[in-house]
């Protein structure tokens, strides 16, 4: 074998275990950050934009296409009957 050294994944001795990036001290308290009205507005607004509006417009287009198909057949039959 060669003289390769294996480095460990442990931090340097002068760095404390919880001070690597500062998030451990914040998250260690166990408290949740309360939801803000702005965050809830963004969440529900995106739900409406990305889910409910396309469903509504898709259903509206489907119903209008079915109505035009039925109306179109009846109109053509009436026109042909008049000839």
Helices (H), the chain: 23-27, 37-47, 53-82
Q: Judge whether 55 lies within some domain.
A: yes
pLDDT at residue 37, rounded to an integer = 95
Q: Is residue 13 scored above 60 in pLDDT?
A: no
Q: Judge whether 41 lies within some domain.
A: no
Separation between Cα atoms, residue 42 and residue 50, nearest integer Å: 12
Q: What angle do CA 40, 41, 47 make, to 5 degrees?
A: 90
Q: Is residue 61 scored above 80 in pLDDT?
A: yes
pLDDT category at 49 given cuts 50, 70, 90 is very high
Q: Judge whether 2 lies within some domain.
A: no
Q: Judge whether 71 lies within some domain.
A: yes
Q: Is residue 11 scored above 70 in pLDDT?
A: no
Contact criterion met (CB below 8 Å) for 18 and 24 = yes
How many structural domains are present in the chain?
1
Show the domain range for 55.
48-83
pLDDT at residue 16, rounded to an integer = 56
């Amino acid at each position: 074998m060669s003289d390769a050294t294996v480095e460990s994944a442990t931090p340097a001795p002068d760095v404390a275990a919880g001070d690597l990036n500062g998030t451990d001290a914040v998250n260690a308290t166990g408290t949740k950050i309360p939801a803000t009205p702005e965050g809830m507005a963004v969440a529900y607004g995106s739900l409406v934009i990305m889910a409910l509006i396309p469903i509504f417009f898709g259903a509206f287009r489907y119903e209008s296409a079915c109505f035009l198909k039925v109306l179109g057949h009846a109109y053509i039959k009436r026109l042909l009957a008049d000839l």
